[in-house]
Chain A
Amino acid sequence: MNLAHYLGLLHKAEVDLAAAYRAIGEAHMDEPDVFYDCEKFAAQCDRHAERLQPFADRYGEEADDEPDRLHSELFTGTREGGLGLLRDLHDLYLMAAECDISWTLVGQAGQGARDTDLMEVVTGCEGETAMQMAWLRTRMKHAAPQALVVS
C-alpha cells in the first residue's frame, strides 16, 4: 500500500508550511494581520501534523521506504517590502495548495481503505487548509495592485 507515502508527503508539507508561516509572519511583523494570522495558521498546521502522525506510523509499517522525490521545495526564505510580502504570501499559497490537494487524495485513499478514523481527520483539517488558501488569496488580491503597479 502506497498510502504511507502520501501521508508522509502531507505530514512533511504541513510541517514545512507551519515553519514557513512562522518565518514569514516574523519577517513581516509590521503587517500585524499577516503576523497574527500566520501565527494562527502555523498552529493549525502543527495540529494537522500531530493528527496525521499516528496514521503515518501505522501505514508506514506496511510501506516501502518513502521516495524522496515526492517532496518539493517551495520556500527558500523571506523577502522585504511590498513586493516581497506579495511573493512570500504567494509561496505560502503554493505550499498550502500542496497540502490542500494532498488532503483530497489522502481522503480518497481513506475511503478506499475504509479507514473512518482517517476520514474524520481529513474532514476536520481540509476545511482549515482551504480557509488558509482563501485568506492568502484575499490578502494577495488586496496587496497586488499597490505592490505591482504603484511604485
Chain B
Amino acid sequence: MPTSRHAESPTATDRIEDPWGARTPYGPQHPSWPARVDTFLEDGIDASDVDRWVQSASILHSNGDALDIAVKDGRIVGVRGRAADRINRGRLGPKDLFGWQANNSPDRLTRPLVRDGDRLVEADWETAMGRVVDRSRELLDGPGGWGHFGFYTSGQLFLEEYYTLGVIGKAGIGTPHMDGNTRLCTATAAAALKASFGTDGQPSSYTDVDHCDAIALWGHNVAETQTVLWMRMLDRRRGPNPPAMVAVDPRATPVAREADVHLAVRNGTNQALMNGLIRELLVHGWIDERYVDEHTQGFEKLQQAVDAYPPERVAQICDVPAGQVRAAAEILGTCERLLSTVLQGFYQSNQATAASCQVNNIHLLRGMLGRPGAGIYQMNGQPTAQNTREAGADGDLPAMRNWDNDEHIRQLAELWNVEVDKIPHWAPPTHAMQIFRYAEQGSIKLLWISATNPAVSLPDLARIRRILERDDLFVVVQDLFLTETARFADVVLPAATWGEKLGTFTSVDRTIHISDKAVEPPGEARPDLDIFLDYARRMDFRDRDGGPLITWDDPESAFEAWKACSAGRPCDYTGVTYDRLRGGSGIQWPCNARHPDGAERLYTDGVFNTDPDYSETYGHDIPTGAAHTESEYRAKEPKGRAFLHAVDYEPSPEVPSDEHPLLLTTGRTVYHFHTRTKTGRAPQLDGAAPDVWVELAPDDARGLGIAEGDLVEVRSPRGMITARARVCGVRPGVVFVPFHYGYWDTPASTGPEGGAGRAVNEATVSGWDPVSKQPIFKVAAVAVRKVAGAAGGHAPAPTVGGAEPVGDAAVPRTSGGRAAMATSTVEEAS
C-alpha cells in the first residue's frame, strides 16, 4: 500500500453525458486501483453545509458501491463515494449519484391504504394490519391452510428483513410458497454455482479485475448495469498490460464496442456457442489436465458432448463468423488469468443454467479459479439479491441448506425450536411463476408482495393483471409508491427505504456493507423489518415450547439471529458485527474463526462444496430439471470435486415464424433500475431516458420502411406495445426493448386499458429455464410494423449505451447539463 496520498483538485463532470467519468488507468503492477471520490449534492448545497455523513452502499444495482449519505436539516441532500472501500474506491455511477432523490419524492406513500370497493382509501396501521391478520387467520385455520399463502419479495430489502420473512414463511406459516423477484435476476447464478460447485456462493473477488489478463463478458452489459465495475475494467484497459476482452451480446453495447472479439450471437443460442468454445479449448489442448484430474468429474461426457460443435456449425447456429469463434477461444485458451462475468444475456435466455455452467466449465478446464485474476462472477442484478438467496426468502433455504437433506432441515428446526415437520421440505420452495399459477387457479388466496412490481416485471402481463384482479385473491403490497401492482392491492403498506432504516446487505463478491439510518421515513411509513415483526407478533407465531417464534426485535438482533443460522455454512457471518462494519471497508464472508477478516476468494485449494452432507443440492438433470436423488448423488462420490456439466444445444421454445419473423430481447439502460419506481422520480435519470423505445438494426429498419423516431408496433402472440424506433447496433433479426417502462406515469396507471401497451412484458413468453426457473425474457418471436412517422422527432432513447444511434439521423446527444454535474477527486498515490 502507498504510504501517503494527495488529492487532486476536484473536477466536475456531467455524469448523464458521461456515466463512467474520467479514467484512472492502472496496471497489474500498481499497488491498487486508484481512489476517485465522486460526490453529488443538491443544488445550492456545499460539502460544508452538510450536517452529517451516514454510511451506506448503493441500492440501485448489485455492485455494492460504498457511499455516505449527506444529511442536512433531517433531509437527504446528496451522496459521496467511500474511498476506503474495496469495491468502488470512492466511485459512484449515475443511479447512485441521482437516484436518492426519489426518497424525497412528494408522492411517497405515507399512510396505509385499504380497499373500499374499487377504491383504495387511507387507513391507520391498526386497520390495515388488522385486515391482513384477519384474512391470514381465516386461511390458516384448517388442513392445508399453509397452501393458501404466497410471498413474493425482492432483491432490494435488507438481509435482516429477508431472514425474518423467511422464518415467518417457513416456520410460522409453514409454506413453501415464497420467492423473490431474484427469480428474474440472479436465480440462474445460484443454480449454476450449485450445479458446478455444490453450493451457492460467488467464488471470486472484484480485485480479480486488477490482476487478470483477459476478461470475458457473457451476456453482461456491465457498462450499463454495474457502472463502477466497468470503470475498473476500463481503467485496466487504459493502463499498462491491459487485459484482452471478449463479449457475447446481440447488441452493440459499450462492452461489445470495447471488446477485442464481439460475438453478436442470435438470441437463444448461447449453449451452442459455449459448446463450440469448449471444443476449441480441447482440440488445442488449452486445458490444465492436472486440475481437471484432481478437482473435477464429468470430463469424458463433456468431451463427447462438445465434439459435435466445430466452429462452422456454431457459426451456423449462432450466426457469427467461425473465425470469431476461433479468435475468442484463443483468448480464453491462452490467457493466464481469466476473469469471467455472466448476467442476463445468459440467465434470461433459454438453456440458462446449462450455458452458465459452461462458463464454470471453462474455468475448471483451465484451472482458472481461486487465485488473483482467475475468477468468475455469476452476477446479480439487484443490490441485495445475494441476501435474498442466502437468507432463504426465495427458492433456497437459509444459509445454503439443502431442502432434500434431513440433517439440514433438523438444524433449522433446532435453531428455530419448531417441529421438523413444520418446515416444508417435501420439494424445493415454490418458484415465482408457479406461485402466480396457484393464485390463478385459486388455491393461493393471499399474496404478499414486498418491494417489487410484478405488474410490470413478470412476463405476459395481461395474464398477471388477470391474476392480481381476482376477487378470491387477497393482495398485500408493501412498497414506497403506489406502483402498478399496488393499485391491485387489498391492503397497501407504506414502507421506509434505504437511508430511512438500518440493515446490512452483501455484494456479488460477498462484501457485506452496513446501511445506517440517515433520516426519518416520511409520514407513517415503516421499515420492512418492523412490518414483518409486527405481523409475526399479531399472528402470535410460537415455537414448540410456546415461546415466540421470532426472538428478535430490531435490525441488530435480527443480524445476530442470522449469524447463528449461518454458522458453519459457506456464508458464515459469525465473525461480523455491526460495529466491525462501521467505518473503513466492507467485509467479505466467510468471516469466522478461520477467516477472521473475511476471505477474498473461495475454492483457493480446488476443494468444492460438493460433499453430500454439505452440498446445497443433490443436483438436477440440467436439460430437464429432473431432480437427482440422494443415493444417485452419493453414488457419484464427488469428494470435493466440481462437476463438469455437458448439455446439447436445444433451440428456444419460441423461434421466429412467417407471422412473427423477428426475435425480441429485453433489457436495461444505464439510467434506470427495474420498473423506474425510483429512477423515474430522479429528474436527471428520467430526463435521460423518459420513455420506452425499440431498437432495430439498420437493415431490418430499412426493410420495414422504418426510420429513427417512427412509431412502431411490436406484436407477439401474447400482446403488443408501441414505441418510437431507434436505429442502432443491435444485430440483424433482433429487436430490443427496455423493460423499465410501465404505466404509473401514464393516465391508464395499471395497464394499456384498451390503448397500446408500453411495458414490453405484454409481449414476452411465459416459459422458464428448467433448473433455475428463470423466465425466458430474451427470446420471443415478434412482428414489427410502422404505425406512424417521426414527424421530425426522434426516439426517447439515450445516445449513450446500447441505444447509441448509427447512420445519419440527427439525434441530439444525451446530456444532463448543470443539474447533472458531479465532482470527482482523484487520490494519487505518492
Q: How far is the CA of A92 from the CA of B438 in the complex (A)?
A: 22
Q: Are B144 and A150 in contact (CB under 8 A)?
A: yes
Q: Are B147 and A135 in contact (CB under 8 A)?
A: no
B631 interfacial by beta-carbon distance below 8 Å: no
Chain A: minimal CB distance from B101 (Å): 39
Q: How far is the CA of A130 from the CA of B143 in the complex (A)?
A: 35
A32 interfacial by beta-carbon distance below 8 Å: yes
Q: How far is the CA of A137 from the CA of B627 in the complex (A)?
A: 9
Interface residues on B, range: 20 to 34
Chain B residues with Cβ under 8 A from A137's Cβ? Answer: 626
Q: Return the CB mask of B400-440 against A: 1 if under 8 Å, else 0.
A: 00000000000000000000000010111010011001101
Q: Which of A2-43 contact B (CB under 8 A)?
A: 30-33, 36-37, 39-40
Q: Which of A128-147 contact B (CB under 8 A)?
A: 131-132, 134-135, 137-138, 141-142, 145-146
Q: Are A141 and B621 in contact (CB under 8 A)?
A: no
Q: How far is the CA of A39 from the CA of B767 in the complex (A)?
A: 13
User: Which listed residue, A30, A81, A134, touches B626 by the CB 8 Å rule?
Assistant: A134
Given A131-B623, A134-B624, 17 other A-B contacts at CB below 8 A?
Answer: A30-B437, A31-B437, A32-B433, A33-B768, A33-B770, A37-B770, A134-B627, A134-B628, A135-B621, A135-B625, A135-B626, A138-B627, A142-B428, A145-B147, A146-B438, A146-B443, A151-B443
Q: Are A131 and B626 in contact (CB under 8 A)?
A: yes
Q: How far is the CA of A130 from the CA of B580 in the complex (A)?
A: 52
Chain B residues with Cβ under 8 A from A40's Cβ? Answer: 624, 650
Q: How far is the CA of A145 from the CA of B626 in the complex (A)?
A: 18
Chain A residues with Cβ under 8 A from B650's Cβ? Answer: 40
Q: Are A142 and B441 in contact (CB under 8 A)?
A: no
Q: Are B443 and A131 in contact (CB under 8 A)?
A: no
Q: How far is the CA of A142 from the CA of B148 in the complex (A)?
A: 15
B661 interfacial by beta-carbon distance below 8 Å: no
Q: How far is the CA of A39 from the CA of B770 in the complex (A)?
A: 14
Q: How far is the CA of A132 from the CA of B625 in the complex (A)?
A: 10
A149 interfacial by beta-carbon distance below 8 Å: yes
Q: Are A32 and B147 in contact (CB under 8 A)?
A: no
Chain B: minimal CB distance from A122 (Å): 18
Q: How far is the CA of A134 from the CA of B770 in the complex (A)?
A: 13
Chain A residues with Cβ under 8 A from B627's Cβ? Answer: 134, 138, 141
Q: How far is the CA of A151 from the CA of B766 in the complex (A)?
A: 25
Q: Are A82 and B443 in contact (CB under 8 A)?
A: yes
Q: Are A149 and B144 in contact (CB under 8 A)?
A: yes
Decide yes or no: A135 and B768 within 8 Å by CB, A31-B437, A151-B443 being known contacts.
no
Q: Return the CB mask of B642-684 against A: 1 if under 8 Å, else 0.
A: 0000000010010000000000000000000000000000000
Question: For A40, A82, A134, which residue has the most chain B Cβ atoms within 10 angstroms?
Answer: A134
Chain B residues with Cβ under 8 A from A36's Cβ? Answer: 653, 767
Chain A: minimal CB distance from B461 (Å): 15
Q: How far is the CA of A114 from the CA of B765 in the complex (A)?
A: 49
Q: How far is the CA of A151 from the CA of B441 in the complex (A)?
A: 10
Chain B: minimal CB distance from A130 (Å): 9
Chain B residues with Cβ under 8 A from A146's Cβ? Answer: 147, 438, 443
Which partner residue on chain B sits nearest A145 by CB separation? Answer: B426
Q: Are B766 and A32 in contact (CB under 8 A)?
A: yes
Chain A residues with Cβ under 8 A from B766's Cβ? Answer: 32
Chain B: minimal CB distance from A80 (Å): 10
Chain A residues with Cβ under 8 A from B146's Cβ? Answer: 150
Chain A residues with Cβ under 8 A from B148's Cβ? Answer: 150
Chain B: minimal CB distance from A30 (Å): 7
Q: Which of B593-640 contact A (CB under 8 A)?
A: 621, 623-628
Q: How far is the CA of A105 from the CA of B829 in the complex (A)?
A: 75
3 closest A-B pairs by beta carbon, nearest first, are A150-B147, A134-B626, A150-B144
Q: How far is the CA of A30 from the CA of B627 in the complex (A)?
A: 22
Chain A: minimal CB distance from B745 (Å): 31
Q: Return the CB mask of B479-515 against A: 1 if under 8 Å, else 0.
A: 0000000000000000000000000000000000000
Q: How far is the CA of A97 from the CA of B817 in the complex (A)?
A: 69
Chain B residues with Cβ under 8 A from A82's Cβ? Answer: 438, 441, 443
Q: How far is the CA of A31 from the CA of B768 in the complex (A)?
A: 11
Chain B: minimal CB distance from A90 (Å): 16
Q: How far is the CA of A38 from the CA of B394 in the complex (A)?
A: 27
Q: How far is the CA of A39 from the CA of B257 in the complex (A)?
A: 39
Q: List 5 A-B contacts (CB under 8 A).
A: A32-B768, A40-B624, A82-B438, A138-B627, A142-B428
Chain B residues with Cβ under 8 A from A150's Cβ? Answer: 144, 146-148, 443
Decide yes or no: A138 and B147 within 8 Å by CB, A30-B440, A32-B768, A145-B426 being known contacts.
no
Chain A residues with Cβ under 8 A from B430's Cβ? Answer: 142
Chain A residues with Cβ under 8 A from B765's Cβ? Answer: 32
Which partner residue on chain A sits nearest B143 by CB separation? Answer: A149
Chain A residues with Cβ under 8 A from B624's Cβ? Answer: 37, 40, 131-132, 134-135
Q: How far is the CA of A149 from the CA of B174 in the complex (A)?
A: 14
Q: How far is the CA of A138 from the CA of B627 in the complex (A)?
A: 6
Chain A residues with Cβ under 8 A from B144's Cβ? Answer: 145, 149-151
Which partner residue on chain A sits nearest B176 by CB separation? Answer: A145
Q: Return the CB mask of A40-75 against B: 1 if under 8 Å, else 0.
A: 100000000000000000000000000000000000
Q: Are A138 and B443 in contact (CB under 8 A)?
A: no
Q: Which of A67-97 contact B (CB under 8 A)?
A: 81-82
Chain A: minimal CB distance from B315 (Å): 25
Chain B residues with Cβ under 8 A from A37's Cβ? Answer: 624, 770
Q: Are B143 and A134 in contact (CB under 8 A)?
A: no
Q: Are B770 and A141 in contact (CB under 8 A)?
A: no
Q: Are A142 and B427 in contact (CB under 8 A)?
A: yes
User: Which listed residue, B433, B434, B621, touches A134 by the CB 8 Å rule?
Assistant: B621
Q: Are A138 and B426 in contact (CB under 8 A)?
A: no
Q: How far is the CA of A51 from the CA of B59 in the complex (A)?
A: 56
